Amino acid sequence: MFVDEIKIYARAGHGGKGCVAFHREAYITKGGPSGGNGGRGGSVILQADHDLNNLIQQYYVPRLIAEVGEGGMGKGMDGHAGKDLIIKVPCGTMVWLLKDTTPEIKKKMVSPDDEDEEEEQPEGERGAKHKPVITSSTGGRPLIRSARGTTALEIDLTKAKTPVVESEEPVAPPEPQGVLVADLTEHGQQYVLCKGGRGGLGNRNFATPRRQTPRFAQPGEPGTEGEFHLELRIMAEIGLVGYPNAGKSTLLTAISKARPKVAPYPFTTLHPQIGIMEYEKDFKRLTVCDVPGLIEGAHMNVGLGHAFLRHIRRCKVLVLLLDMAGTDGRHPWDDYKQLLKELELYDPAFLKKPRLVVANKMDEAVAEENLKTFKKKFKKITLVPISAAFDQGMENFRKIVREAVEAQD
């Protein structure tokens, strides 16, 4: 199965909560607070990988949930951080954010200047004024502490005023494609889809000369979460476009080591196929993408081609392959016009890409005659005659394609 579009849900791990503990040891009286900090939650990270060619893994596991951070412990022990969940996706994956379902409390922490919250605070809390409000400390004046370069607000857990997730406002139905947040094109490129929550500070961070036994610690912060749409647009330099049975897969077989199925019936190829064309002299490599055949009405979702046209959107050069022998009873010039029309209807930007018109099946008797007629009808177009099945004209084709691609670089 070839999956090139998928909706997923991702949630980063919650930060572990800080611990309230006091040092106990023989002969050491009142050892002081010793609660460790909670570990941070794991993040959900997408990583582009050139060994993958579709999003089948996400089809089977569409919920990506990272590990939570461990809570802090006594004796000053900090909790383990949650493991990051690294998900490999094929190069060319685009990530669209459909809906941010991060708890409201987390959003407030990220954007602290929420005016509604400020009103209730007594005057004189200059430090806390623009800070995220969770719950106040021991009911009195909230205390802001700094530890390891991060500021934190004290929370009294004994008062059991746990942060309440306010009911979210009704979210407007997302746009079909949401907001584009990432485009993973290069092998190894990473994108943090959801960031893990920070771990809470343990009570030993809150000891002061005046309050030597703080009986509170911080809860961890929730991680971000959301619904995303992943879309794969294959990264290939050359895109093969043509009617079914034009010989696209045969051509791919002739120029690369890819072995797509070749058969004399339409829609043999059911999903995009990638081949790598190598030039022996200087080891230059060009990626070629063969998409299922286009037919009239493809823009109305007739046939298969339309669904896969997105894969040639990134191609530098389009190769329009025509069956010059008219095997299926069509005329190559009609095919040419129709192909251009379908491409334009899908995305007018296709017509701005450099394209190469290739006449296939030149070994057939009628092909020469058709070629002449075609040239008469379209005088400005330079055709590249080949016979993919018999390896004729391949050198010329490889050379011309390379020149066209290099002109784009």
Q: How many CB atoms lie within 10 A of CB 263?
A: 10
Which secondary structure element, helix H or strand E, spans residue 376, and what is its range?
A: helix 365-377
Binding mask 293-322 for ligand GTP (x = CB under 6 A): x-----------------------------
Beta carbon of residue 230, minimum distance to ligand GTP (angstroms, whole number): 26
What's the CA gap between 186 and 48, in Å, rounded?
A: 6
143 binding partner (options Mg ion, ligand GTP, none; Cβ < 5 to 8 Å by kind): none
Options 89-97, 125-133, 225-233, 356-364: segment touching ligand GTP (CB under 6 A): 356-364
Tell whether residue 363 is a contact of ligand GTP (CB under 6 A): yes
Nearest CB to ligand GTP, comparing residues 13 and 244: 244
Crossing angle for the helix pair 394-408 and 248-255, nearest 10 degrees?
A: 90
Residue of 97, 307, 345, 389 that binds ligand GTP (CB under 6 A):
389
Q: Which tokens sit at 42?
A: 């794991």
What's the CA gap between 259 and 262, in Å, rounded?
A: 8
Instruction: Work out whether strand 355-360 and strand 317-323 pair parallel, antiparallel, or are unpaired.
Output: parallel
Options 68-76, 151-159, 206-214, 259-267: segment touching ligand GTP (CB under 6 A): 259-267
Q: Of 177, 202, 183, 253, which Cα lies nearest the Cα of 71?
A: 202
Residue of 34, 43, 253, 269 that binds Mg ion (CB under 5 A):
269
Beta carbon of residue 391, minimum distance to ligand GTP (angstroms, whole number): 9
What's the CA gap between 387 and 398, in Å, rounded?
A: 13
Tell whether residue 263 is a contact of ligand GTP (CB under 6 A): yes
Nearest CB to ligand GTP, comparing residues 102 and 387: 387
What's the CA gap between 204 and 33, in Å, rounded?
A: 5
364 binding partner (options Mg ion, ligand GTP, none; Cβ < 5 to 8 Å by kind): ligand GTP
- The DSSP code for 275 is E
Nearest CB to Mg ion, comparing residues 93 and 249: 249
Nearest CB to Mg ion, comparing residues 203 and 249: 249
Residue of 5, 296, 364, 368 that binds ligand GTP (CB under 6 A):
364
Contact in structure between 220 and 200 (CB atoms under 8 Å): yes
Contact in structure between 318 and 352 (CB atoms under 8 Å): no
Beta carbon of residue 11, minimum distance to ligand GTP (angstroms, whole number): 41
Nearest CB to ligand GTP, comparing residues 33 and 244: 244
Of 196-255, binders to ligand GTP (CB under 6 A) are: 242, 244-250
38 binding partner (options Mg ion, ligand GTP, none; Cβ < 5 to 8 Å by kind): none
Options 59-67, 167-175, 267-275, 324-332: segment touching Mg ion (CB under 5 A): 267-275
The CA distances from residue 191 to 6, 55, 185, in Å, are 17, 16, 11
- Total interface residues for ligand GTP by CB under 6 A: 25
Residue ranges binding Mg ion (CB under 5 A): 249, 268-269
Residue ranges binding ligand GTP (CB under 6 A): 242, 244-250, 262-264, 266-269, 292-293, 360-361, 363-364, 387-390
